[in-house]
């Protein structure tokens, strides 16, 4: 079976590596970037490589949601698939779930693994357009769009007479605007909810909130990533990337809160910041594709169109995007499911598409509830010393 994977970010690469290790697939991987140079650090959720339902559900925030949303048999199937991942790949995945690691290493290692295996994958370096992608498809072939948040085909998955309407196939919930501030610290440092509270006690506004599990002690260096909530106006007035010096000159109140937090970390652990602060401003959006496959095209049976005679799946940030550092794990888990589905060669096409849609919807429910809970907790935290403001945010029936 010929499978086209468009976009060789972490999700497209993992899917390619999974299909490459299965019999009977010829994978064509397309990527526009010439080399991997991203600088951000990410952490993969431990549930990705869980070996039991209990460890899969160990997450404090969504353990119960997992039980409510997924059937036990589904969870067991997911775990069985993980066990079947070849050792070269599962060793990499295991390593990435132990702490912070550079996204660049994930992409380079997966890419090198695919090339090193030396069979079953053809690679093309090119910017693929939506028209190119659709034209590639021969009847019966599979195409996976893993081109990230600005998905190539998301808007093309719903048939219609008129021109493609941008965003028509996307549900978006904007949770907040934030600065993501990352730095290296020359001592071991970790942070729980008490630490977040006491280190922010003088910060009435712009509380600096390091993410749970967002610090990773790596030899003598801790990687610290925190979020500071900002207004829509402040977001508009900032460049997409800046550093500590720029922030201190242009948004001193935000910088003071951050610096107060860092000073308290230093008092406690007697270390120093290594290098500069990296500041990225992002809207924290939660979104999903209403249709993560081309099943509506198949239902219309317009036999002349390539989208009516083949299977198209959105994967990773193409299908679902979420803030609070969950997205990459979600994308990688979804392609584990997708690879398992495509491997069932006797599964009728419609059923394959329906099962993927249902799975993506369940993952959406899970990440939607988790993200809303995190946002709610963050809102309460902002008002924790002001009982009136706090009570206004509580809805107790």
Residue closer to ligand FAD by CB (options 61, 390) is 61
Across 284-296, b (16+ Cβ under 10 Å) vs e yields bbbbbbebbbbbb
Residue closer to ligand FAD by CB (options 28, 57) is 28
> What token pair was written down for 127?
């910017």
Across 323-348, b (16+ Cβ under 10 Å) vs e yields bbbbbbbbbbbbbbbbbbbbbeeeee
- What secondary structure letter does DSSP report for 78? H
Residue closer to ligand FAD by CB (options 146, 257) is 146
Closest residue to bound ligand FAD by CB: 9
Residue closer to ligand FAD by CB (options 289, 298) is 289
Q: Considering only CA atoms, which of 338, 299, 275, 268 is closest in space to residue 5?
A: 338
- Using the contact rule CB under 6 A, the part of the chain among 39-47, 55-63, 67-75, 162-170 near ligand FAD is 39-47
Residue pair 82/336 in contact by the 8 Å Cβ criterion: yes
| Contact status: 210 vs ligand FAD (CB under 6 A) | no
CA–CA separation, 186 and 218 (whole Å): 10
Site for ligand FAD in 17-36 (CB under 6 A): 30-33
Residue closer to ligand FAD by CB (options 5, 66) is 5
Site for ligand FAD in 225-284 (CB under 6 A): 280, 282
**Contacts (Cβ under 8 Å, ≥6 apart) of 162:** none
Strands 216-218 and 208-210: unpaired
| Contact status: 293 vs ligand FAD (CB under 6 A) | no
- Using the contact rule CB under 6 A, the part of the chain among 83-91, 157-165, 325-333, 371-379 near ligand FAD is 325-333
Q: Considering only CA atoms, which of 154, 152, 173, 388 is closest in space to residue 293?
A: 154
Q: Considering only CA atoms, which of 165, 151, 168 is closest in space to residue 312?
A: 151
Residue closer to ligand FAD by CB (options 42, 298) is 42
Contact characters 326-345, ligand FAD, x per CB under 6 A: xxxx-x--------------
| Contact status: 40 vs ligand FAD (CB under 6 A) | yes
Among 3, 5, 8, 262, binds ligand FAD (CB under 6 A): 8
Residue closer to ligand FAD by CB (options 97, 383) is 97
Q: Which residue has the tokens 């329906």?
A: 354
Reduce the DSSP state of residue 309 to 3 states and report it.
Answer: coil
Minimal distance, residue 139 CB to ligand FAD, in Å: 23
| Contact status: 353 vs ligand FAD (CB under 6 A) | no
Site for ligand FAD in 112-141 (CB under 6 A): 127-128
**Contacts (Cβ under 8 Å, ≥6 apart) of 277:** 181, 182, 183, 243, 244, 247, 258
Identify the sign of the CA torsion 191, 195, 199, 200.
Answer: positive
| Contact status: 316 vs ligand FAD (CB under 6 A) | yes
Residue closer to ligand FAD by CB (options 65, 327) is 327
Helix axes 87-96, 10-20, angle to 10 degrees: 150
CA–CA separation, 322 and 302 (whole Å): 34
Angle at CA 62, nearest 5°, toward 58 and 65?
110
Residue closer to ligand FAD by CB (options 50, 128) is 128
Minimal distance, residue 330 CB to ligand FAD, in Å: 7
Minimal distance, residue 43 CB to ligand FAD, in Å: 5
Site for ligand FAD in 56-115 (CB under 6 A): 103
| Contact status: 152 vs ligand FAD (CB under 6 A) | yes
- Using the contact rule CB under 6 A, the part of the chain among 6-14, 136-144, 235-243, 289-297 near ligand FAD is 6-14
Angle at CA 336, nearest 5°, toward 121 and 126?
35
Residue closer to ligand FAD by CB (options 298, 327) is 327
| Contact status: 181 vs ligand FAD (CB under 6 A) | no
Minimal distance, residue 300 CB to ligand FAD, in Å: 26
Residue pair 294/312 in contact by the 8 Å Cβ criterion: yes
Residue closer to ligand FAD by CB (options 150, 395) is 150
Q: Residues interacting with ligand FAD, by CB under 6 A?
A: 6-12, 30-33, 40, 42-43, 103, 127-128, 146-148, 152, 180, 280, 282, 316-317, 325-329, 331
């Amino acid at each position: 079976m010929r499978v086209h994977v468009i976009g060789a970010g972490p999700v497209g690469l993992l899917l390619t590596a999974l299909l490459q290790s299965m019999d009977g697939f010829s994978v064509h991987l397309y990527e526009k970037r010439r080399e991997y140079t991203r600088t951000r650090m990410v952490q993969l959720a431990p549930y990705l490589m869980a070996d039991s339902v209990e460890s899969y559900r160990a997450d404090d925030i969504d353990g119960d949601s997992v039980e409510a949303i997924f059937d036990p048999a589904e969870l067991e199937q997911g775990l069985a698939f993980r066990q079947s991942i070849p050792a070269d790949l599962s060793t990499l995945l295991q390593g990435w779930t132990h702490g912070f690691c550079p996204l660049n290493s994930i992409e380079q290692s997966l890419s090198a693994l695919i090339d090193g295996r030396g069979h079953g994958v053809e690679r093309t370096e090119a910017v693929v357009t939506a028209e190119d992608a659709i034209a590639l498809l021969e009847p019966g072939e599979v195409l996976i769009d893993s081109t990230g948040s600005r998905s190539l085909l998301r808007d093309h998955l719903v048939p219609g007479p008129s021109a493609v309407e941008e965003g028509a196939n996307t549900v978006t919930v904007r949770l907040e605007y934030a600065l993501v501030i990352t730095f290296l610290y020359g001592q071991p440092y970790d942070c729980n909810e008490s630490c977040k509270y006491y280190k922010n006690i003088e910060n009435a506004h712009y509380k600096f909130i390091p993410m749970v599990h967002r610090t990773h002690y790596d030899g003598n260096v801790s990687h610290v990533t925190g979020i500071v909530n900002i207004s829509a106006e402040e977001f508009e007035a900032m460049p997409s990337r800046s550093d500590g010096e720029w922030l201190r000159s242009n948004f001193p109140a935000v910088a003071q809160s951050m610096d107060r937090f860092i000073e308290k970390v230093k008092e406690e652990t007697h270390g120093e910041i290594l290098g500069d602060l990296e500041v990225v401003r992002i809207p924290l959006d939660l979104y999903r594709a209403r249709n993560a496959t081309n099943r509506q095209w198949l239902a219309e049976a317009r036999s002349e169109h390539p989208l009516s005679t083949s299977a198209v799946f959105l994967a990773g940030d193409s299908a679902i995007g979420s803030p609070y550092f969950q997205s990459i794990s979600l994308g990688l888990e979804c392609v584990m499911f997708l690879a398992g589905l495509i491997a069932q060669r006797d599964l009728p096409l419609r059923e394959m598409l329906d099962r993927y849609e249902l799975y993506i919807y369940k993952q959406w429910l899970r990440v939607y509830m988790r993200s809303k809970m995190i946002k709610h907790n963050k809102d309460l935290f902002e008002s924790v010393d002001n009982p009136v403001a706090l009570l206004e945010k509580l809805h107790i029936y």
